[in-house]
Structure 1
Amino acid sequence: MMLSVEKTNKADAWKIRLIVLSVILVGLVAVKITPIEAAINLIDGNNIFHRIPNTCTIQKVFGIPCPLCGMSRGFAEISHFNFLGGIYYNPFSVIFYPLSFIFITAIFILSLFNYKFKITKPRTFGWGIFVLFIVVWTVNIIWGHHS
Protein backbone atom coordinates (compact mmCIF):
# COMPACT_ATOMS: atom_id res chain seq x y z
CA MET A 1 0.00 0.00 0.00
CA MET A 2 1.28 3.46 -0.86
CA LEU A 3 -0.70 5.24 1.87
CA SER A 4 -0.69 4.68 5.59
CA VAL A 5 -2.47 6.39 8.46
CA GLU A 6 -0.43 7.88 11.27
CA LYS A 7 -1.08 9.90 14.41
CA THR A 8 -0.55 13.66 14.25
CA ASN A 9 -0.70 16.50 16.76
CA LYS A 10 -3.71 18.78 17.24
CA ALA A 11 -2.09 21.79 15.54
CA ASP A 12 -1.35 19.80 12.38
CA ALA A 13 -4.83 18.29 12.46
CA TRP A 14 -6.32 21.80 12.50
CA LYS A 15 -4.12 22.82 9.58
CA ILE A 16 -5.32 19.78 7.64
CA ARG A 17 -8.95 20.66 8.37
CA LEU A 18 -8.47 24.27 7.25
CA ILE A 19 -6.79 23.13 4.02
CA VAL A 20 -9.56 20.62 3.30
CA LEU A 21 -12.28 23.18 3.97
CA SER A 22 -10.47 25.70 1.75
CA VAL A 23 -10.24 23.15 -1.07
CA ILE A 24 -13.95 22.41 -0.72
CA LEU A 25 -14.85 26.12 -0.74
CA VAL A 26 -12.71 26.84 -3.80
CA GLY A 27 -14.17 23.79 -5.54
CA LEU A 28 -17.72 24.89 -4.86
CA VAL A 29 -17.01 28.38 -6.14
CA ALA A 30 -15.17 26.99 -9.18
CA VAL A 31 -18.11 24.88 -10.30
CA LYS A 32 -20.61 27.54 -9.22
CA ILE A 33 -22.77 25.08 -7.35
CA THR A 34 -25.49 26.11 -5.02
CA PRO A 35 -28.19 23.83 -3.70
CA ILE A 36 -30.86 25.95 -5.40
CA GLU A 37 -29.20 25.64 -8.82
CA ALA A 38 -28.75 21.91 -8.38
CA ALA A 39 -32.41 21.47 -7.41
CA ILE A 40 -33.62 23.55 -10.35
CA ASN A 41 -31.40 21.61 -12.74
CA LEU A 42 -32.65 18.32 -11.34
CA ILE A 43 -36.25 19.44 -11.83
CA ASP A 44 -36.11 20.96 -15.31
CA GLY A 45 -32.70 19.90 -16.68
CA ASN A 46 -32.20 23.06 -18.74
CA ASN A 47 -28.50 23.39 -17.85
CA ILE A 48 -28.48 27.20 -18.04
CA PHE A 49 -26.64 27.76 -14.77
CA HIS A 50 -23.32 26.05 -15.21
CA ARG A 51 -21.75 26.67 -18.60
CA ILE A 52 -18.06 27.20 -17.98
CA PRO A 53 -15.95 28.36 -20.95
CA ASN A 54 -12.87 26.43 -22.02
CA THR A 55 -9.81 28.27 -20.72
CA CYS A 56 -7.13 25.62 -21.36
CA THR A 57 -3.91 27.39 -22.37
CA ILE A 58 -2.28 24.19 -23.63
CA GLN A 59 -5.20 23.53 -25.96
CA LYS A 60 -5.24 27.11 -27.22
CA VAL A 61 -1.47 27.15 -27.89
CA PHE A 62 -0.80 23.58 -29.08
CA GLY A 63 -4.24 22.46 -30.25
CA ILE A 64 -4.41 19.43 -27.95
CA PRO A 65 -6.08 19.21 -24.55
CA CYS A 66 -4.11 18.88 -21.34
CA PRO A 67 -4.70 15.79 -19.14
CA LEU A 68 -7.26 17.64 -17.02
CA CYS A 69 -8.85 19.62 -19.85
CA GLY A 70 -12.61 19.70 -19.30
CA MET A 71 -12.35 18.43 -15.72
CA SER A 72 -13.80 21.63 -14.18
CA ARG A 73 -16.67 21.61 -16.64
CA GLY A 74 -17.13 17.88 -16.03
CA PHE A 75 -17.21 18.42 -12.26
CA ALA A 76 -19.73 21.24 -12.74
CA GLU A 77 -21.96 18.95 -14.80
CA ILE A 78 -21.72 16.14 -12.24
CA SER A 79 -22.42 18.60 -9.40
CA HIS A 80 -25.64 19.42 -11.21
CA PHE A 81 -26.51 15.72 -11.59
CA ASN A 82 -25.71 15.68 -15.33
CA PHE A 83 -23.44 12.63 -15.46
CA LEU A 84 -23.48 12.33 -19.25
CA GLY A 85 -22.36 15.97 -19.44
CA GLY A 86 -19.46 15.10 -17.14
CA ILE A 87 -18.43 12.27 -19.45
CA TYR A 88 -18.83 14.58 -22.44
CA TYR A 89 -16.34 17.16 -21.15
CA ASN A 90 -13.78 14.72 -19.70
CA PRO A 91 -14.45 10.97 -19.54
CA PHE A 92 -12.45 10.64 -16.32
CA SER A 93 -14.40 13.31 -14.44
CA VAL A 94 -17.02 10.73 -13.43
CA ILE A 95 -14.24 8.65 -11.85
CA PHE A 96 -12.29 11.49 -10.23
CA TYR A 97 -15.35 13.25 -8.80
CA PRO A 98 -16.43 10.46 -6.41
CA LEU A 99 -12.81 9.51 -5.63
CA SER A 100 -12.03 13.14 -4.78
CA PHE A 101 -15.11 13.33 -2.57
CA ILE A 102 -14.21 10.10 -0.75
CA PHE A 103 -10.55 11.04 -0.31
CA ILE A 104 -11.25 14.59 0.89
CA THR A 105 -13.91 13.29 3.30
CA ALA A 106 -11.50 10.64 4.63
CA ILE A 107 -8.75 13.22 5.16
CA PHE A 108 -11.16 15.48 7.04
CA ILE A 109 -12.57 12.70 9.24
CA LEU A 110 -9.09 11.40 10.07
CA SER A 111 -8.03 14.92 11.08
CA LEU A 112 -10.92 15.09 13.55
CA PHE A 113 -9.28 12.20 15.41
CA ASN A 114 -5.73 13.60 15.00
CA TYR A 115 -4.68 11.20 12.24
CA LYS A 116 -3.38 11.87 8.75
CA PHE A 117 -2.45 10.01 5.59
CA LYS A 118 1.23 9.47 4.88
CA ILE A 119 2.65 8.45 1.51
CA THR A 120 4.82 5.43 2.33
CA LYS A 121 6.34 4.85 -1.11
CA PRO A 122 6.76 8.31 -2.66
CA ARG A 123 8.65 7.08 -5.72
CA THR A 124 6.04 4.43 -6.56
CA PHE A 125 3.26 6.92 -5.83
CA GLY A 126 4.87 9.48 -8.14
CA TRP A 127 5.20 6.98 -10.99
CA GLY A 128 1.62 5.86 -10.44
CA ILE A 129 0.39 9.46 -10.73
CA PHE A 130 2.53 9.96 -13.86
CA VAL A 131 1.12 6.83 -15.56
CA LEU A 132 -2.41 7.81 -14.53
CA PHE A 133 -1.95 11.26 -16.10
CA ILE A 134 -0.70 9.71 -19.36
CA VAL A 135 -3.74 7.40 -19.48
CA VAL A 136 -6.12 10.27 -18.64
CA TRP A 137 -4.48 12.47 -21.27
CA THR A 138 -4.74 9.79 -23.96
CA VAL A 139 -8.40 9.10 -23.19
CA ASN A 140 -9.16 12.83 -23.08
CA ILE A 141 -7.47 13.43 -26.45
CA ILE A 142 -9.42 10.58 -28.05
CA TRP A 143 -12.86 10.92 -26.41
CA GLY A 144 -13.03 14.22 -24.53
CA HIS A 145 -14.85 17.34 -25.71
CA HIS A 146 -12.42 20.13 -26.57
CA SER A 147 -14.35 23.27 -27.38
Structure 2
Amino acid sequence: MSGKQDELWALSLAVFRVNGLLMRNGERLTAPSGQSSARWQVLGRADDSPRTVAQMARELGLARQSVQRVADALEADGLVAYVENPADRRARLVAITPAGARALSDIVARYSAWAERMAGMLDAADLASAAASLARVGDRIEADLAGGDGW
Protein backbone atom coordinates (compact mmCIF):
# COMPACT_ATOMS: atom_id res chain seq x y z
CA MET A 1 0.00 0.00 0.00
CA SER A 2 1.08 3.54 -0.51
CA GLY A 3 -0.16 7.13 -0.28
CA LYS A 4 -3.93 7.33 -0.03
CA GLN A 5 -4.20 3.60 0.68
CA ASP A 6 -1.98 4.02 3.75
CA GLU A 7 -4.08 6.97 4.88
CA LEU A 8 -7.32 5.02 4.42
CA TRP A 9 -5.79 2.12 6.39
CA ALA A 10 -4.79 4.51 9.21
CA LEU A 11 -8.28 6.03 9.19
CA SER A 12 -9.87 2.57 9.31
CA LEU A 13 -7.78 1.57 12.32
CA ALA A 14 -8.54 4.85 14.10
CA VAL A 15 -12.28 4.49 13.44
CA PHE A 16 -12.26 0.88 14.68
CA ARG A 17 -10.51 2.01 17.88
CA VAL A 18 -12.84 4.95 18.49
CA ASN A 19 -15.90 2.81 17.71
CA GLY A 20 -14.79 0.25 20.27
CA LEU A 21 -14.17 2.95 22.86
CA LEU A 22 -17.53 4.59 22.19
CA MET A 23 -19.26 1.23 22.55
CA ARG A 24 -17.46 0.56 25.85
CA ASN A 25 -18.42 4.01 27.07
CA GLY A 26 -21.99 3.42 25.90
CA GLU A 27 -22.14 0.28 28.02
CA ARG A 28 -20.88 2.28 31.00
CA LEU A 29 -23.49 5.01 30.44
CA THR A 30 -26.42 2.62 29.90
CA ALA A 31 -25.69 0.04 32.61
CA PRO A 32 -27.20 2.05 35.50
CA SER A 33 -30.49 2.07 33.57
CA GLY A 34 -30.34 -1.69 32.98
CA GLN A 35 -29.83 -1.09 29.27
CA SER A 36 -27.03 -1.59 26.73
CA SER A 37 -25.50 0.43 23.91
CA ALA A 38 -27.53 -1.56 21.39
CA ARG A 39 -30.76 -0.90 23.26
CA TRP A 40 -29.84 2.80 23.56
CA GLN A 41 -29.38 3.03 19.79
CA VAL A 42 -32.79 1.51 19.07
CA LEU A 43 -34.51 3.60 21.75
CA GLY A 44 -32.93 6.70 20.27
CA ARG A 45 -34.12 5.88 16.76
CA ALA A 46 -37.64 5.11 18.02
CA ASP A 47 -37.66 8.37 19.98
CA ASP A 48 -36.84 10.45 16.88
CA SER A 49 -40.00 9.12 15.26
CA PRO A 50 -41.53 5.69 14.81
CA ARG A 51 -39.76 3.78 12.05
CA THR A 52 -39.44 0.23 10.81
CA VAL A 53 -36.74 -2.12 11.99
CA ALA A 54 -35.29 -2.08 8.46
CA GLN A 55 -35.10 1.73 8.50
CA MET A 56 -33.38 1.67 11.88
CA ALA A 57 -30.90 -0.93 10.69
CA ARG A 58 -29.99 1.16 7.63
CA GLU A 59 -29.61 4.33 9.72
CA LEU A 60 -27.44 2.56 12.29
CA GLY A 61 -25.42 0.57 9.76
CA LEU A 62 -26.43 -2.69 11.43
CA ALA A 63 -27.95 -5.97 10.30
CA ARG A 64 -31.74 -5.92 10.28
CA GLN A 65 -31.84 -9.18 12.26
CA SER A 66 -29.77 -7.74 15.11
CA VAL A 67 -31.97 -4.64 15.31
CA GLN A 68 -35.05 -6.91 15.23
CA ARG A 69 -33.75 -8.90 18.22
CA VAL A 70 -33.10 -5.71 20.20
CA ALA A 71 -36.49 -4.23 19.29
CA ASP A 72 -38.24 -7.45 20.33
CA ALA A 73 -36.41 -7.41 23.68
CA LEU A 74 -37.32 -3.75 24.22
CA GLU A 75 -40.94 -4.54 23.39
CA ALA A 76 -40.94 -7.42 25.88
CA ASP A 77 -39.71 -4.95 28.52
CA GLY A 78 -42.41 -2.41 27.60
CA LEU A 79 -39.91 0.18 26.35
CA VAL A 80 -41.11 0.19 22.73
CA ALA A 81 -44.32 -0.90 21.03
CA TYR A 82 -44.98 -2.08 17.51
CA VAL A 83 -47.62 0.08 15.84
CA GLU A 84 -49.36 -0.10 12.49
CA ASN A 85 -47.51 1.38 9.55
CA PRO A 86 -49.87 3.25 7.20
CA ALA A 87 -47.32 2.92 4.38
CA ASP A 88 -46.83 -0.86 4.68
CA ARG A 89 -49.12 -3.17 6.64
CA ARG A 90 -46.44 -5.89 6.77
CA ALA A 91 -43.67 -3.72 8.26
CA ARG A 92 -44.80 -2.36 11.60
CA LEU A 93 -43.26 0.74 13.11
CA VAL A 94 -41.27 0.72 16.34
CA ALA A 95 -42.47 3.50 18.66
CA ILE A 96 -41.04 4.44 22.03
CA THR A 97 -43.33 4.07 25.05
CA PRO A 98 -43.43 6.39 28.06
CA ALA A 99 -41.30 3.87 29.99
CA GLY A 100 -38.83 3.80 27.10
CA ALA A 101 -38.72 7.58 27.02
CA ARG A 102 -37.90 7.62 30.75
CA ALA A 103 -35.11 5.06 30.28
CA LEU A 104 -33.73 7.03 27.34
CA SER A 105 -33.90 10.29 29.27
CA ASP A 106 -31.90 8.72 32.09
CA ILE A 107 -29.23 7.56 29.63
CA VAL A 108 -29.13 10.90 27.82
CA ALA A 109 -28.62 12.73 31.11
CA ARG A 110 -25.52 10.61 31.81
CA TYR A 111 -24.37 11.03 28.21
CA SER A 112 -24.79 14.82 28.43
CA ALA A 113 -22.62 15.01 31.53
CA TRP A 114 -19.96 12.85 29.87
CA ALA A 115 -20.14 14.84 26.61
CA GLU A 116 -19.74 18.12 28.48
CA ARG A 117 -16.63 16.79 30.20
CA MET A 118 -15.21 15.49 26.90
CA ALA A 119 -16.04 18.72 25.06
CA GLY A 120 -13.86 20.58 27.54
CA MET A 121 -10.92 18.41 26.45
CA LEU A 122 -11.45 18.60 22.70
CA ASP A 123 -11.34 21.39 20.12
CA ALA A 124 -14.75 22.16 18.56
CA ALA A 125 -13.25 22.87 15.13
CA ASP A 126 -11.38 19.54 15.18
CA LEU A 127 -14.59 17.72 16.09
CA ALA A 128 -16.56 19.43 13.32
CA SER A 129 -13.84 18.70 10.77
CA ALA A 130 -13.59 15.06 11.83
CA ALA A 131 -17.37 14.62 11.68
CA ALA A 132 -17.55 16.17 8.20
CA SER A 133 -14.65 14.05 6.94
CA LEU A 134 -16.15 10.85 8.33
CA ALA A 135 -19.51 11.70 6.76
CA ARG A 136 -17.86 12.10 3.34
CA VAL A 137 -15.89 8.85 3.73
CA GLY A 138 -19.07 7.07 4.84
CA ASP A 139 -20.97 8.41 1.83
CA ARG A 140 -18.27 7.11 -0.54
CA ILE A 141 -18.18 3.69 1.13
CA GLU A 142 -21.98 3.49 1.04
CA ALA A 143 -21.99 4.35 -2.67
CA ASP A 144 -19.29 1.73 -3.31
CA LEU A 145 -21.29 -0.91 -1.44
CA ALA A 146 -24.44 0.03 -3.34
CA GLY A 147 -22.57 -0.43 -6.61
CA GLY A 148 -22.37 -4.14 -5.86
CA ASP A 149 -19.24 -4.68 -7.95
CA GLY A 150 -17.77 -7.01 -5.34
CA TRP A 151 -14.27 -8.31 -5.82
User: If the length of structure 1 is used for normalisation, what is the TM-score?
Assistant: 0.30
**Larger helix share, 1 or 2:** 2
Larger relative contact order (Cα-Cα within 8 Å, sequence gap ≥ 6): 1
User: If the length of structure 2 is used for normalisation, what is the TM-score?
Assistant: 0.30
